[in-house]
Amino acid sequence: MIQVEFYSLLRLLLKQEKLTLPWKKEITVEQLLKQVQSAIPIPFLDKLIDADGRLHPGTIILVDRRNIHHLDLLQTKIRDGAVIALFPPGAGG
């Protein structure tokens, strides 16, 4: 199983806190996000990735607590049991 968690404005937008997907084979973060998008009727992928396949700066993606910027970005491999968190943090103070 893979657990995808939505925080802050993404939780509000998608009206859910998490989505659990069955683990079939090793996939990348990019492939996972597309699977999530096809499982959820509300468009959100364009808030994470631009048309050229680059990450938007407003949301951090953590795979098992680690920011994918310190892994292989969107090509980071997802293992069975992984927890993926999508979190757009507040920037102000």
Partner 1 sequence: MNTSPADRYARQVLHWGEAMQHRIMQSTLLIAGVGGLGATVAQLMARGGVGKLYLVDDGELDWPDLNRQTLYGEQDIGRKKVQVAAERLAAINSTIQIIPLDSRINRQREWPSDLTAVADCLDNWPSRFALYNTTSAGCWFVHGGLQGDQGQILTLKTGTSQPLDEIFTGCTQPQGSIPVTPDAAAILAGMMAGELFQALGGTPRLLDRILVVGLEDFHCSILNV
Interface residues toward partner 1, by CB under 8 A: 5, 7-9, 11-12, 17, 55, 57-58, 60, 62, 65-67, 69-70, 85, 87, 89-93
Look-up of token digits 């968190």: 85
Which residue, 81 or 89, has its beta carbon nearer to partner 1?
A: 89
Which residue, 26 or 66, has its beta carbon nearer to partner 1?
A: 66
Eight-state DSSP code of residue 85: E
Which residue, 24 or 93, has its beta carbon nearer to partner 1?
A: 93
d(CA 4, CA 21) in angstroms, rounded, equals 8
Q: How many residues does the chain have?
A: 93
Q: Closest separation between CB of residue 19 and partner 1, Å?
A: 15
> How many C-beta atoms surround the C-beta of residue 18 within 10 A?
14
d(CA 40, CA 19) in angstroms, rounded, equals 9
Q: Closest separation between CB of residue 78 and partner 1, Å?
A: 17
